[in-house]
Amino acid sequence: MNLLACDRWSRLVPAILAFAIGVIPVRAADDVIALKAARLFDGKSKSLVPNGVVIVQDDKIVDVGSNVVVPGDAHVIDLGDATLAPGFMDAHTHLTLDYSGDYNVRRLKELDLNVSEQAIIATAHARATVEAGFTTVRDLGSRFVGSREFVDVALRNSINKGVVVGPRMLVATKGIGATGGHFDPTSGFRDFLFGREPDYTDGIIDSPDDARKAVRFEVKNGADVIKAAVSGGVLSLTDEVDTPQLTPAEMAAVVDESHRLRKKVAVHCHGDQAAREAIEAGVDSIEHGSFVKPETLTRMKNKGVFLTPTLMATEWIMSKLENYPSALQAKAKAAAAARSDMFRNAVKLGVRISFGTDAAVFPHGQNAKEFKLMVDLGMTPVDALKSATASNAELFGIAQKTGSLEKGKLADIIAMPGDPTTDITATERVFFVMKEGKIIRNGPIVQQATKTTQPAEVGVPAD
C-alpha cells in the first residue's frame, strides 16, 4: 500500500466505523466514490440501462451512465444485482406529525403533548423517510393546536445543518384555510376552548387581504412552498369532504401573493368545484383530487397543473376504518370510491402526476408503497418512477440541482434490489441511500431510531 492509499484509508476507516455503528452518515472526505449496479434509471429516460455506474466526488455526480470508466483511485461500491436511481422525492408529507393510530387518542394527545417533545419525535420520522430512499420531501403543513411553533422549519434547518439525519425538506408551515374549514385547528373542539378564534398567524383566513397576510407571514417565517385547503377533507370533524372552502377571490390572492414571492402553491382539494376554481386561480398542484371529473382533469393537463394523488393515505384509512369516528369513515369511503377512477382518468388524459403520499396518515417510511398503487391503477412502472424523481424535481423548482442522475447534479442516489420495471415493489426494498454524496444507508438499517407504528401523537388533520 503506498502512502497515498494509506492516507485515503486513514480517512475512510473511521468513516466506515461510524457508519457501522449507525451514528452519522458517511462521507469519504474528498475521495471519489464509484457506485456500480446491474442496472441504472436516470430519472428521465424511458428505460433502464445495464451496467450502471455513477461517479461521485464531494456532493456531486461527476460522471454517470452504462459501463462508465471508473477512475483508478475511486472507492468502488458494487451493489450487484440492483438498480441505481435518483433519490425518491415525495411531494406530500407531514414529517412533524403522525395520525396513523387511533383518531381520538391522537386528539387527546394533541392537548397534552409538549410541542418540543413532538419536534424530537419528528427527527425519527425524518430518519425513517430518508432511510426508505426519499432524499427530498415537500412537507405540506405542520401545526399544533394552540401553539405558534414552526417545527417543520426547525426540522428542515436542523437537517440542512447536519444536526439531524433526514431528507431535504421544502416546508409549507401552517397551511392556509378558511374558518371552520379543513385546516382550522380548533374545529371540533368546544368554542373558545383555546381562548380566541384562529387568525392569519394560524393560517386561517376569511378574505383576500387575509390571504395575502397569511402568505407573507408564512414566507417571513420560513415557508418554501404555500399550502392551502380549498375544499373539505377526510380527517376533519366539522366539514364535508368535497365542499369548496376558499372563494375564488381568496384563492387568487393566495396564488398571486405566493407567485410574486416565487413560491409555488399546493392545494388540498377533494372536490371538483374547488379544483376548477383552484386551476383557474393558477395553483401549481392539486393534492388528493378524489372527486375531480375528467373535464377538470383535462383543464389541469392543459394548464400544466400537477396532480398529487396520495393513494397511500386513502389505502391506510380504509384498512384501519375502526380507528376513525363514524363521520370520518363515511367521508373516507366516499373519497376511496371515487379516487381510483379519477386516477385512471388522469393517467389516460396525460395529467402530470407528482408522486406524493400524505405520509403521517400512515407510518413514516412506508412512502414507497404508493408506487404499487399507482401501477395497479394503470401507470407504467417507469412513469411512476419518473413521477418520484425528475417530475417532482420540476414541480419543486429544484430540477437544476437534483431529481436525475446527471453530471453536475447533487449526488442523491439510491439502490433497490432487482429491476423495479418488472417488479415495482422493489422500490419498497431500497437498501442503499446516498444524499449529497454522504452514505446514509448501505444494507439493512443498523439502528432503528424509533418505532413509527406507535399510536398517533399530535397535530391537526392533514388528509
Binding site residues, Zn ion, CB under 5 A: 358, 462
CB closer to Zn ion out of 358 and 370? 358
Rounded-to-integer distance, Cα 435 and Cα 408, Å:
14
CB closer to Zn ion out of 19 and 324? 324
CB closer to Zn ion out of 61 and 361? 361
Closest approach, Cβ 227 to Zn ion, in A, equals 8
Rounded-to-integer distance, Cα 256 and Cα 258, Å:
6
Please name the residue ranges forming H helices in 350-380. 369-376
Closest approach, Cβ 258 to Zn ion, in A, equals 18
Helix (H, G, I), strand (E, B) or coil at 376: helix
CB-based contacts of 182: which residues, under 8 Å, 6+ apart?
229, 231, 232, 233, 236, 239, 245, 268, 461
Closest approach, Cβ 262 to Zn ion, in A, equals 23
CB closer to Zn ion out of 230 and 462? 462
Closest approach, Cβ 16 to Zn ion, in A, equals 38
Closest approach, Cβ 449 to Zn ion, in A, equals 23
Rounded-to-integer distance, Cα 435 and Cα 445, Å:
16
CB closer to Zn ion out of 278 and 462? 462
Rounded-to-integer distance, Cα 146 and Cα 184, Å:
11
Helices 115-131, 151-160: inter-axial angle, 10-degree rounding: 50
CB-based contacts of 449: which residues, under 8 Å, 6+ apart?
123, 124, 127, 128
Closest approach, Cβ 359 to Zn ion, in A, equals 9
CB closer to Zn ion out of 123 and 142? 142
Rounded-to-integer distance, Cα 337 and Cα 152, Å:
32
DSSP secondary structure of 239-283: S-TTSB-S-HHHHHHHHHHHHHTT--EEEEE-SHHHHHHHHHHT-
